[in-house]
Amino acid sequence: MSQPFTAIATLIARAGQQDALEQHLRALIEPTRAEAGCGQYELHQDLANPLAFYMIEQWASDEALQAHDASAHIQHFRSQAEAFLEHFELKRLRVIA
């Protein structure tokens, strides 16, 4: 099993779609926080760019994140995302100090 890690997901809404993206991201919070291996799952919005959202996540292992990626709520989000999501990027981080 892998080590715990932090992930930061960057999600940029299509022009005029930030409210839709926020609504869909908010719907992910409760079921994700209930997943095994999820230590943190917090949604943030960029104060300078309201199209940009960040999900700050902590996972117990790679396997926990893989299970999250395969979950019904994430699969549903992905099936809808083309309408409101312009860009997605996930950074995986390790604590060094």
In this predicted structure, the answer to whether residue 45 has a pLDDT above a threshold of 90 is yes
Q: How confident is the model at residue 2 (pLDDT cuts 50, 70, 90)?
A: confident
3-state DSSP assignment of residue 12: strand
| Residue 24, number of CB atoms within 10 A of its CB | 21
**The model scores a pTM over 0.85:** yes
Q: Where are the domains of the chain?
A: 5-93
Q: How confident is the model at residue 47 (pLDDT cuts 50, 70, 90)?
A: very high
Residue 21 belongs to what H/E stretch?
Answer: helix 18-33
Q: What percent of the chain has pLDDT over 70?
A: 99
Assigned fold of 5-93: Alpha-Beta Plaits (3.30.70)
